[in-house]
């Protein structure tokens, strides 16, 4: 098993898309099993035995697991489609590799872990001999990750070659045989996993030794936001909050661990003003929220780092300058007598670019042209510049490389040190365990009782994330 590491923008996804036929290389060729593959032809890659499981699954929710797996191999509506033969083969693959999925289950009813199994079964069903996995553990619980790793070891034992793309160095060290590191589109190094360590790999990724920011003991102050027995209305298919109680204190990072889709969106929406309590009470700095809205949340000193930087955190075709002032363009700093002060806006954008080490052409560059890590730094700068009293950090490092992660963590710790309260919502349990002073687990829209850092084991937290263990508070 080969692990592929690299910073955001290093070329990992580009390389894999060339290998799988999604992109055409400017130079060079791709050879698989002694035969050159035609460029830009995913079908040829599939026929050659190359399968790819994307970070964002490509399944049809309104179809069964069986139909998704067999799709493209036979006409599903044809009388000649051998449904029973397909079911038998899927069940055998499931049993052989520990990929338990009921073939007749609708994909929409499956858990995230089960959907991933369907994606892997799709590749195996097509007799894949090389399997590319892009950030396969991003939305899994620790127990689901352990199960996935057990499956991958079985696949390797059966002769499959696996390319494992991940930014989690502990996982790379645990599962891979060999590591290839990309930096700026070139191979920066290659190591046998048994002959290296996390420190060396991190240094290869960023080009220098990486020192994680120190986490000093918290100096906790008064409660800045209090939720008491709060429930929120159901919106579409999202999970609402049910009777949750939570307090956010000055000088403290509160970590919310959980698998995606368990109420994190409702909790983030509540703090950012997009959602209001259906029942229960909410106070911000000792006062009721009143006419709660995103504008009211900003005025109350709540800053947000949204979960999806592309869809929610930025407007792709607007410039860096326009994006960094988007939440405060009406403030006296950027507006005079009803007119935009573009000189002040430009100066602010230049300061964010400089202070947050954003790699971009300048304030006028379209933000969609930036890498994910640099876009996240801009959003971070926009959120932290006014020194908010409460910071909603929702998946703040998702998809970032180790260098960008260390940078974001350092800035959040600086905010904590000056007395801000940080609500850290993350599916990365390592991140929660590193930063959070107090940890709660969200499952099915309910919160567990809080625990101090180190009070609960990883397994205990994983069980709570999966909806097991103690009853939610």
Q: In this predicted model, what pLDDT tens digit does every residue of 429-458 receive, in sequence order? A: 888 999 999 999 999 999 999 999 989 988
Give yes or no for residue 290 having a pLDDT over 80.
Answer: yes
Q: Which domains does the chain have, with CATH numbers?
A: 2-206 (3.40.50.300), 223-465 (3.40.50.300)
Structure token pair of residue 392: 């909603």
- pLDDT band for position 53 (cuts 50, 70, 90): confident
Structure token pair of residue 163: 């390319």
| Dihedral angle over CA of 261, 262, 268, 270, nearest 10 | 120
Give yes or no for residue 60 having a pLDDT over 50.
Answer: yes
pLDDT at 173: 92
Structure confidence by residue, pLDDT tens digits, 1-44: 999 988 766 788 788 889 888 889 889 999 999 999 999 898 89
- pLDDT band for position 469 (cuts 50, 70, 90): low
Give yes or no for residue 471 having a pLDDT over 60.
Answer: no
Residue by residue, DSSP assigns 138-199 as TT--HHHHHHHHHHHHHHHHTT-EEEEE-S-HHHHHHH-SEEEEEETTEEEEEEEGGG--HH
- Residues 266-282 have a mean pLDDT of 94
Q: Which residues contact 135 (CB under 8 A, 6 or more apart)?
A: 55, 165, 166, 167, 399
Positive or negative torsion for Cα 442, 447, 448, 449: positive
Q: Which residues contact 280 (CB under 8 A, 6 or more apart)?
A: 227, 228, 229, 230, 231, 243, 244
Q: Which residues contact 388 (CB under 8 A, 6 or more apart)?
A: 301, 302, 303, 415, 420
Rg of the chain over all Cα atoms, to the nearest angstrom: 24
pLDDT at 472: 44
pLDDT at 473: 45
Residue 460: count other Cβ atoms within 10 Å of its Cβ.
Answer: 16
Cα separation, 386 vs 397, whole angstroms? 21
Location of structure tokens 């992109």: 23
Structure token pair of residue 124: 């195996």
Q: Are 136 and 155 in contact (CB under 8 A)?
A: no
């Amino acid at each position: 098993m080969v692990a592929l590491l690299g910073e955001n923008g290093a070329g990992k996804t580009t390389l894999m898309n060339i290998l799988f036929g999604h992109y055409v290389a400017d130079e060079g060729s791709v050879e698989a099993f002694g035969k050159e593959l035609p460029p830009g032809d995913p079908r040829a890659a599939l026929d050659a035995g190359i399968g790819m499981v994307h970070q964002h699954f490509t399944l049809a929710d309104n179809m069964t697991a069986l139909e998704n797996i067999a799709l493209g191999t036979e006409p599903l509506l044809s009388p000649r489609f051998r449904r029973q033969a397909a079911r038998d083969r899927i069940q055998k693959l499931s049993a052989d590799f520990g990929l338990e999925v009921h073939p007749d289950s609708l994909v929409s009813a499956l858990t995230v872990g089960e959907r991933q199994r369907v994606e892997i079964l799709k590749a195996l069903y097509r007799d894949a001999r090389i399997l590319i996995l892009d950030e396969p553990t991003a939305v899994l619980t620790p127990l689901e990750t352990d199960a996935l790793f057990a499956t991958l070891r079985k696949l390797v034992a059966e002769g499959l070659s696996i390319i494992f793309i991940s930014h989690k160095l502990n996982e790379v060290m645990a599962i891979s045989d060999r590591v290839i590191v990309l930096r700026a589109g070139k191979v920066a190094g290659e190591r046998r996993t048994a002959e290296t360590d996390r420190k060396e790999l991190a240094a290869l990724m960023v080009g220098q030794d990486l020192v994680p920011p120190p986490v000093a003991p918290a100096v906790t102050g008064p409660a800045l936001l209090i939720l008491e027995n709060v429930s929120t209305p159901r919106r579409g298919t999202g999970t609402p909050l049910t009777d949750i109680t939570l307090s956010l204190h000055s000088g403290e990072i509160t970590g919310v661990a959980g698998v995606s889709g368990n109420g994190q969106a409702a909790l983030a929406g509540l703090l950012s003003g997009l959602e209001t309590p259906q029942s229960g009470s909410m106070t911000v700095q000792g006062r009721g929220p009143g006419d709660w809205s995103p504008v009211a949340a900003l005025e109350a000193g709540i800053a947000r780092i949204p979960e999806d930087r592309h869809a929610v955190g930025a407007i792709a075709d607007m410039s860096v300058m326009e994006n960094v002032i988007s939440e405060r363009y009406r403030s006296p700093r950027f507006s005079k007598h009803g007119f935009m002060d573009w000189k002040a806006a430009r100066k602010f954008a230049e300061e964010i670019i400089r202070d947050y080490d954003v790699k971009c052409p300048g304030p006028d560059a379209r933000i969609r042209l930036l890498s994910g890590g640099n876009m996240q730094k801009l959003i971070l700068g926009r959120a932290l510049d006014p020194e908010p009293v409460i910071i909603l950090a929702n998946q703040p490092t998702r998809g970032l490389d180790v260098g960008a992660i260390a940078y974001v963590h350092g800035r959040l710790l600086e905010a904590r040190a000056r007395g801000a309260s940080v609500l850290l919502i993350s599916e990365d349990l390592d991140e929660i365990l590193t930063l959070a002073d107090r940890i709660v687990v969200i499952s099915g829209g309910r919160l567990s009782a809080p625990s101090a850092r180190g009070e609960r084991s990883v397994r205990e937290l994983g069980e709570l994330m999966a909806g097991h263990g103690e009853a939610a508070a």
